[in-house]
Amino acid sequence: MTLPNLTFADCLQPGWCVSPHVRALVTTRNGGVSEPPYGRWTAGADQAGGLNLGLHTGDDPVAVAANRARLLSLAGTRAAWLVQVHGNEVVLADDVIAAADSGGAPAVRADASVTATPGVACLVMVADCMPVLLCDEAGRAVGAAHAGWRGLAAGIVEKTAQRVAELAGAKLENLCAYLGPAIGPGAFEVGADVRDVFMTEARVGERDLVARAFVDHGSTPGKYLADLYALACVRLARLGIAQISGGDACTVTDRERFYSYRRDRVTGRMAAMIWLAD
């Protein structure tokens, strides 16, 4: 069976007002060649044609390689593929690609990358964690961060934004942010320990906003439903970044579009990527 090629219609794109030099997209589970359980979800069934981009998911590595090639062909770029570790390390995407080109170099372990080089894509993979894409309004630099709750608490968004601003020679308040598909506030159950981390780190004037991002899960004592999007907005506001879009999707509940590790356990990975046009 010949499967149709990946198109922009298979992806999400930020609805932000930025320089046309900035290009960005988030893949869905559609538009690839992976077989179930990594396939596309149509009419209540997992079928061939999934765009799984994760090499360590149990999927056929030949299929994953073909999916990655489809994505890069669509974007017309090279990409900085990271080994993500739920930390707060930010690297230069150009260095990641150079390391991959050198052959034999260890894969770069980090959770965000930035660049000011056209044709180089910053990329993070997700399947419930929140991808955060950043750029300056004038289109001089971009960055992508992988922000699960651990990375978010560790400051990955702030560190990535600061690096983008430095590369662009811009003020932080002139950056734009896009919050890509992640586990939504109605599905992300966490313990009091997670809430305590964010409450402890909340600054003066932030405590009420952070507290409201955790809703008591009435059926389970000591558990909360957490809003990653709201927590990210608190961190961005801390930097003076007000131009924020996205934050309205849930990977867990939208099975037709998104992979979700919490929902399925054995599942694929999507990519959020951002680059500057040549």
pLDDT tens digits, one per residue of 179-208: 999 999 999 999 999 999 999 999 999 999
Q: Is the dihedral of CA 213, 84, 164, 176 positive or negative?
A: negative
User: Average pLDDT in the 234-259 region?
Assistant: 97
| Residue 162 and residue 207 in contact, taking contact as beta carbons nearer than 8 Å | no
Taking the domain 16-183+245-276, which CATH number applies?
A: 3.60.140.10
Residue 1 binned pLDDT confidence (cut-offs 50, 70, 90): low
Residue 177, pLDDT score: 98
Each residue of 9-46: pLDDT tens digit?
A: 999 999 999 999 999 999 999 999 999 999 999 888 99
| Rounded-to-integer distance, Cα 88 and Cα 154, Å | 6
Report how far apart, in Å, the C-alpha atoms of 6 and of each of 49, 50, 126, 242, 263 are. 10, 10, 18, 33, 25
Q: Looking at residue 221, what is its pLDDT?
A: 82
More confident residue, 170 or 218: 170
Q: Which of 104, 143, 147, 142 is nearest to 128 (CA)?
A: 147
pLDDT of residue 119: 97
Residue 134 contacts residue 111 (beta carbons within 8 Å): no
Per-residue pLDDT, 106: 75
pLDDT digits (tens, 9 = 90+) for 208-230: 999 999 999 877 788 999 999 99
pLDDT digit string, tens, across residues 76-135: 999 999 999 999 999 999 999 999 998 867 789 999 999 999 999 999 999 999 999 999
The domains of the chain are located at 16-183+245-276
pLDDT band for position 59 (50/70/90)? very high
pLDDT exceeds 70 at position 162 = yes
Which residue from 122, 126, 125 is spatially nearest to 161, judged by alpha carbons?
Answer: 122
pLDDT of residue 220: 76
- In this prediction the pTM is 0.97
